[in-house]
Chain A
Amino acid sequence: MEALAFSDVTLELGGRAILSRVSFAIEEGEFVGLLGPNGAGKTTLLRALLGLVPATTGNIRVFAGPPGAADASLGYMPQTRSSSVGSRLSGWDFVACAANGQRFGLPILDKALRFDVDRAIALVDAADLSRRPLIELSGGERQRLLLAQALLGKPRLLLLDEPLISLDLHHQKSIVSLVSELNRELKLTVLFSAHEINPLIGVIDRVLYLGNRQAAIGTAEEVITSPVLSRLYGTEIDVVRVQGRVFVMAGAYEIERDEHRHDV
């Protein structure tokens, strides 16, 4: 069964087309890496799946329904700036704030919600992080708690927006293997956006690569090739594979790496 499908979809942001007449589908249980240069529309695509950006042409289906209708089956981890980094509240309270947090009233959780918070924290192996104040957690530790928030409400589809951003290699690996475990053990469909393919090689089933208002989907071997990426970047791209690692080059520049550095 398809977890999500775009058919002939155009997405616009401020009158500018980000994606133009794009079609693809992702099967349930797949772990898909969402790649592409800055501004290619990775975040916009994820927000469209949440029903926050309407399609101007074509239609989007999430679990066979319109986006926004299946919100309970979606876990979303937005790209976060460091807004709550200075908070002295515990990791547990941080995760718990997202449990039905949009409803008015007192922040009191009933037994079922508290259990759900504990479950999500256990899934990302963050029980001891949850007892520490946010202010003392490192970036990688905070990402674990953000992932726990995305797991609240037992979603079937995880939308993760740049979970590896500004993490060092060690924490990147631990987040990727954690998500991979969740994908396998809970049969979660995962759409995982990243700047760089390398941390995801060997764990993802397919790649959804955005660029130049277009999209290409397939295995890493099929998509990360000179002809496909040249089309998506709109310029001549060389792909070099060395010992299981992939380098995407435009002339003398290594594109993905420079994109990443740019953001940090």
Chain B
Amino acid sequence: MSIVTMFEYDFMVNAFEAATIVAVAASLVGYFLVLRGQTFAGHALSHVGFAGATGAVLAGVSPLLGLLVATVLAGAGMGFLGERFQHRDVAIGIVLAMSLGCGLLFLHFFTAYATQATALLFGNVLGVDAPTVLALLALGILIIAALAFISRPLLFATLQPELAEAKGVSLRRLSMLFLVIVALATAASVQIVGILLVFTLMVAPAAAAQRVTIKLWPGLLLSVGLALVEAWLGLTLAYYSDWPTSFWITAIGAAIYMLALSISRQKHVSEYRHEHHHHDEDQVWRPAMTGSREPKRLSARGEEITARARPISSSSHEH
């Protein structure tokens, strides 16, 4: 069985095209989502989308439209409510649960759509048709263009909000714009992996990339690359194993993240050794390492001591 046979099927070609578009868009958006510490808010957005999509089915409208409207409104609302709400996990969690509940209620009134519900929740990339691929392409281009337009002030506002505000950046407007872009990316991702699993495409590659490289552009590119690996490998494995694509995509996402964690851990240890070698006498600029990752070394007298990253006098808990 050669890999070519996979592409003799239209549904596989559509699935690869759709997954490629969504992987690129979602991983770029996800990079900023992780950087801003808003991954849970992003996760909640997709759940609001479930209520929107099922509500749309009940009203006889396309579920994609309902999904888009609900997530975009929720994104704009979350951005408007501001920084404090976005980090309020309990409030967000309650909205998330309530949205799923509403979705269930809408399904209850419209029982015929059990398979559609599964598709919404867990994705149905093999069922994507050619018009949907086109719609996803348009959506993907819109997402990437909008993100490119705001990315510079977004980065500024993310890393240095006080200074950005002083230089005339409107933090609230930027936050709203960004969460609307997240909402669009969520709606696109739902087509591939479903509402419950959006996290795997949007967050896993970006978080893994940020573990591996601390540089902005290499990080963005790596995030895209990892998302593509996740999507393509997931589809291929699903084709040959006949297991659900979404399962494979989530499994690969988790594997990629864990691999990145172990790479970053190893890098820490070797960087530590390097720094330690060169700055042994310098008490001030030691790399800060935390908890269990601190390598142990032996003192001159042979006792095991912890090679503390900073001198005791420099309080490591400034905040």
Interface residues of chain A, those whose CB is within 8 Å of chain B, are 47, 50, 52, 71, 76-90, 92-94, 97-98, 100-107, 128-129, 132-134, 136-141, 149, 166-171, 174
Contact = CB atoms under 8 A, between A and B. Distances in A.
B214 A103 contact: no
A85 B160 CA distance: 10
A171 B163 contact: no
A77 B169 CA distance: 16
B139 interface: no
Contact of A89 (B151, B216, B285): B216
B54 to A, nearest CB: 36
Contacts of B288: 136-138
Contact of A88 (B151, B210, B287, B318): B210
26 contacts: A47-B166, A50-B166, A76-B163, A81-B162, A83-B162, A87-B159, A89-B210, A89-B216, A90-B214, A90-B215, A94-B160, A97-B155, A97-B158, A97-B159, A97-B160, A98-B156, A101-B152, A101-B169, A102-B167, A104-B152, A107-B152, A107-B216, A132-B287, A138-B288, A138-B310, A140-B314
Contacts of A104: 149-150, 152-153
Interface residues of B, number: 39
A170 B169 CA distance: 35
B182 to A, nearest CB: 18
Contacts of A139: 315, 318-319
B38 to A, nearest CB: 12
A142 to B, nearest CB: 8
Nearest to B34: A88
Contacts of B162: 78-81, 83
Contact of A136 (B161, B289, B313): B289
A181 B86 CA distance: 41
Contacts of B319: 81-82, 85, 139, 166
A168 B158 CA distance: 27
B315 A168 contact: yes
Interface in B211-268: 211, 214-216, 219
Nearest to A90: B214
Contacts of A98: 156, 160, 163-164, 167
Given A50-B166, A89-B216, A167-B318, A83 B153 contact: no
Nearest to B150: A104
Given A90-B215, A94-B159, A168-B313, A141 B285 contact: yes
Contacts of A87: 35, 158-159
B152 to A, nearest CB: 4
B314 A138 contact: yes
A102 B164 CA distance: 7
Contacts of B313: 168-170
Contacts of A133: 214
B316 A84 contact: no
B154 to A, nearest CB: 8
B148 interface: yes
Given A82-B319, A107-B155, A170-B313, A93 B163 contact: no
A106 B310 CA distance: 37
Given A89-B35, A101-B156, A106 B151 contact: yes
B164 A76 contact: no
A106 B160 contact: no
A102 B211 contact: no
A166 to B, nearest CB: 5
Nearest to A128: B285
B291 interface: no
A129 B315 CA distance: 18
B131 interface: no
B37 interface: yes
Given A88-B214, A138-B318, A168-B315, A80 B151 contact: no
Contact of B159 (A79, A84, A136): A84
Nearest to A50: B166
Most buried by A among B148, B160, B211, B316: B160
Contacts of B35: 87, 89
B284 interface: yes
